[in-house]
Amino acid sequence: MKDKIRKAIEQNTFKYYGLRYADEYYELQCSRKWELGEPTENELSGLSVIQITIDTIEKTLNDINFYSNQGNYLFLIGSDEAYNGEDDNELVFDAYSHKLITEL
């Protein structure tokens, strides 16, 4: 999986990359704001991901396991538009600028 991520990042030109668990691709839309470990009805302005770079692949794969209960599939997503989320290494990709790169 590490090599697949490295190759995918090297073959694309996005400014930002992130990992996201989901059950289906169509769930890669605006994320919900969470409070006290529960999702609220409030949506973020984009898709929440855990940032990954060539230099952080192994660490990010370890960190993303915390979110593995939120879906059966792990996706690598790229975007040129992002802002920092509330969690460590969380980015929120603009709702209209992110692109699925690959399922992992």
| Comparison of pLDDT for 53 and 96, the residue scoring more | 53
List, for residues 60-79, the tens digit of each pLDDT value: 999 888 877 778 889 999 99
pLDDT of residue 26: 64
| φ and ψ at residue 69, rounded to 5 degrees | -75, 0
Query: Which of 18-41 are b and which e, b meaning 16 or more Cβ less than 10 Å from the residue's Cβ?
Result: bbbbbeeeeebeebeeeeeeeeee
Listed in sequence order, the residues at least 6 apart from 41 whose beta carbon sits closer than 8 Å to its beta carbon are 32
pLDDT digits (tens, 9 = 90+) for 47-58: 999 999 999 999
At residue 20, what is the residue type? R
**Looking at residues 11-31, what average pLDDT do you find?**
86
Q: What is the mean pLDDT of residues 33-47?
A: 86
